Structure 1
Amino acid sequence: MFSTARQRIAAAALAALAGLSVLTACGDSGTTTTADGKTVLRYQGSTGQVTPFELAQELGYFEKISLQWEGDTTSGPANIQAAATNQVEFGSAFNGAVVKLISGGAKVTSVLSSYGADDKSFSGYYVLDGSPITGARDLIGKKVAVNTLGAHHEFITREWLHQQGLSEAEIEQVQLVVVPPANTEDALRKGQVDVGTLGSVFRDTALERGGLRPLYTDKAIFGEFDYGTYVFRDDFIGKNKDAVADFVQGTARATRWLQVTPRDEVVARFATIIEKRGRQENTELLKYWKSSGLPVPGAVIAEKELQIWIDWLVRNGELKDGRLKATDLFTNEFNPYANGTYRPASGPAGEVLAE
């Protein structure tokens, strides 16, 4: 399945993940509260961007929690590892990375979808207009730029190659090269890589400059789909159920607000939030914001969104068949759009929306 190098990398990653439950158990499971009794949830953000939970705090959707920024994350896998090892209370990553984390022994549970692909927001895998690469077989021996290994873009790329009929041995010959998203377009145009992974503002600004064409997209492979989730440690959920429930209901409502609010209003609100937090961030890229990227009202998790990656890992020999069930890895218990509090298609306050 894997080359020797990849086997060493996979073994090291699984060994590190296997220790996460031990590290979590040794960590301080106590919580901090504010003067008015709210539970403090530490988190990692993203520079120049506003997450749905940060929006929820701005909109006043939280009643029992207060957010505390602990810096910015470098990737989804790093973010959920920080959550699993008690550096922060929750994290978000691609569901395939979540499954790998849990298979390595981490005691975490997905509580809400965090990102996905809809008709306006998705990730594409681009080549130069003059590139001779037109199909999957042309990628054998070529370089594909991804933001990190073991996450969304590696899974999508390997799945596309598999669907296009390449054998595992042939897929192993496609070189995945880690390139920061901000540098991917430049690396592609200079010929340092053959395919560049571009999403959100990086895709939009690159396409404005022209000269690129998509080879495949995540949306074309799976359609509109929720790809990532927020996870909390199981011990934290057990001891702070009200806080987790408040996080989920508020973030679900903020996600719904993003899904039904005019774009200009969203962008203006984001700019206000970024300016308020005073981190000297650039707000120019906000003009490229298009949508939440989450096609499901209120970010409700569907079983298939985790099962598909369990099956993927089993097929690739990274997980024993039957060891994990998707239904054991997530809960919609706290989501008002799933637990009967609101009708699934209602607005952020449970109101009926005009069709």
Structure 2
Amino acid sequence: MVNRIRKFASTALALIAASSLLLSACGKEETSKASAANNGGLEVTELRYQGSVGAVTFPELAEDLGYLAPLKLKFIGNTISGPQDIQSVVTGDTDFGGAFNGAIVKLLAAKAPITPVVSYYGVDDNTWTGYYVLDGSPIKTAKDLIGKKIAVNTLGAHHEFVIKEYLHREGLTPEEIKQVTLVVVPPVTGEQTLRANQVDVATLGGVLRDKALERGGIHPLFRDIDLFGTFSAGSYVLTNKFIKENPNAARKFVEGVAKAIEWARTTPRDEVIARYEKIINNRGRKEDTKTVQFWKSTGIAGKGGLINDSEFTTWVDWLVKEGTLKEGELNGKELFSNEFNPYLNEAK
């Protein structure tokens, strides 16, 4: 009789525990659904990211314009390196990051579970980068760079690809190209290292280029726009897991960035600069707003940051030529997605 009572009590406790777990699971599911409903259907309402000192990124502009709401951004620090920025996405330290498309291709070749979803910078007649030497420098041609040093902001990104493409086109052999040394120098000190003869060539773009040209005494050996013309050069990426688990938030992010890009494209330059100044002053990071005074254009080729096939196939082909990728290892047309971009149907 006692054993029967014990068995009954044990079964009852098990049923109660199971019921509690079921109710708890249902409660969490209902809470999750309610939370999503209250947040406009978004699975998450906060995205972690890295910024850039004295600059305004398109996600930051989108948030300020109200295009991301109720999605909010959480700033965790600054970066000057695209490869580092997207690596932080892979490791889960941030939710989105951006880099040069060639650097993204290299990370995808390493099986990184990421997808480029919207372009965020590029090259046009107003926005480009030059590779500068001092007036009177003996460096006149690509051959003269053998044994010389070129300052770049990081390795394995936009500038390394452009420099090596220039050297290839000018006929240097792989062995000669290896003798051209790329030195990592923070962009803000690139001009200084050039004038101090610590490097032979400095990579300068945007405000840093314009300020250096105002001071005179330098000229470009070559420019990225001369090599590749107008093109979108870099993209924001999300992890495949994030997209799968948070499709509404992913769409909201891309839509907001796309609209911010178009706002910057179609708004008078003075108004864009004024907005950037306001954003920098309001975020309280003790930054100088002088840099944004030199803003000229988005540089982005596709409307709303739409990604073009060539903006990835170019770099896949380039890496195959370099021997970094095998022929057919990656299909550039399948590496990115415009699915969430609101301007996709318009483009079609």
* TM-score (structure 2 length as normaliser): 0.87
Matched with 2:131 is 125
Aligned-pair distance for 1:52?
0.9
Question: Within 2, Cα distance between the matches of 1:99 and 1:137?
Answer: 29
AA paired with 1:334?
Answer: F
Unaligned runs of 5+ in 1: 1-29, 346-355
Report the RMSD for the aligned CA atoms in angstroms: 1.7
Question: Within 2, Cα distance between the matches of 1:298 and 1:219?
Answer: 21
Unaligned runs of 5+ in 2: 1-31
Matched with 1:58 is 64
Label 1:60 to 1:126 Cα distance change in 2 as closer, same or farther (>3 A).
same
Equivalent in 180, 186, 192 of residue 186 of structure 1: 192
- List per-residue Cα deviations over 1:135-173 (Å, max 9, x = no partner): 111111111111111111011000110011111111111
1:322 aligns with 2:333: no
Equivalent in 254, 267, 270 of residue 260 of structure 2: 254
Question: Within 2, Cα distance between the matches of 1:142 and 1:122?
Answer: 23
Question: Within 1, Cα distance between the matches of 2:215 and 2:80?
Answer: 27
Question: Within 1, Cα distance between the matches of 2:301 and 2:204?
Answer: 20
Aligned-pair distance for 1:64?
4.6
Asked if 1 retains the 8 angstrom alpha-carbon contact of 2:63 and 2:69, the reply is: no
Matched with 2:103 is 97
Matched with 1:244 is 250
Asked if 2 retains the 8 angstrom alpha-carbon contact of 1:34 and 1:66, the reply is: no
Matched with 1:41 is 47
Matched with 2:157 is 151
Question: Within 2, Cα distance between the matches of 1:283 and 1:151?
Answer: 26
Question: Within 2, Cα distance between the matches of 1:202 and 1:55?
Answer: 22
Question: Within 2, Cα distance between the matches of 1:86 and 1:70?
Answer: 12
Asked if 2 retains the 8 angstrom alpha-carbon contact of 1:160 and 1:221, the reply is: yes
1:299 aligns with 2:305: yes
AA paired with 1:166?
Answer: L
Matched with 2:122 is 116
Asked if 2 retains the 8 angstrom alpha-carbon contact of 1:64 and 1:242, the reply is: no
Give the aligned length: 311
Asked if 1 retains the 8 angstrom alpha-carbon contact of 2:54 and 2:280, the reply is: yes
AA paired with 2:64?
Answer: E
Question: Within 1, Cα distance between the matches of 2:259 and 2:278?
Answer: 19
Asked if 1 retains the 8 angstrom alpha-carbon contact of 2:80 and 2:153, the reply is: no
Matched with 1:139 is 145
Aligned-pair distance for 1:265?
0.2
Aligned-pair distance for 1:122?
0.7
Q: Judging by fraction of residues, say which structure has more helix.
A: 2
Partner of 1:302: helix, strand, or coil?
coil
Matched with 2:229 is 223
Question: Within 2, Cα distance between the matches of 1:240 and 1:103?
Answer: 25
- List per-residue Cα deviations over 1:194-225 (Å, max 9, x = no partner): 11000111101101101111111111100011
Aligned-pair distance for 1:328?
2.1
AA paired with 1:123?
Answer: T
AA paired with 1:275?
Answer: N
Question: Within 2, Cα distance between the matches of 1:41 and 1:106?
Answer: 20
Matched with 1:166 is 172
Question: Within 2, Cα distance between the matches of 1:167 and 1:337?
Answer: 43
Partner of 2:298: helix, strand, or coil?
coil
Question: Within 2, Cα distance between the matches of 1:248 and 1:35?
Answer: 20
Matched with 1:308 is 314
Equivalent in 177, 180, 183 of residue 177 of structure 1: 183
Asked if 2 retains the 8 angstrom alpha-carbon contact of 1:115 and 1:293, the reply is: yes
Matched with 1:12 is none
Asked if 1 retains the 8 angstrom alpha-carbon contact of 2:302 and 2:308, the reply is: no
Question: Within 2, Cα distance between the matches of 1:321 and 1:301?
Answer: 23
AA paired with 1:117?
Answer: V
AA paired with 1:210?
Answer: G
Aligned-pair distance for 1:36?
5.4
Matched with 2:218 is 212
Question: Within 2, Cα distance between the matches of 1:171 and 1:49?
Answer: 34
AA paired with 1:214?
Answer: P
Matched with 1:87 is 93
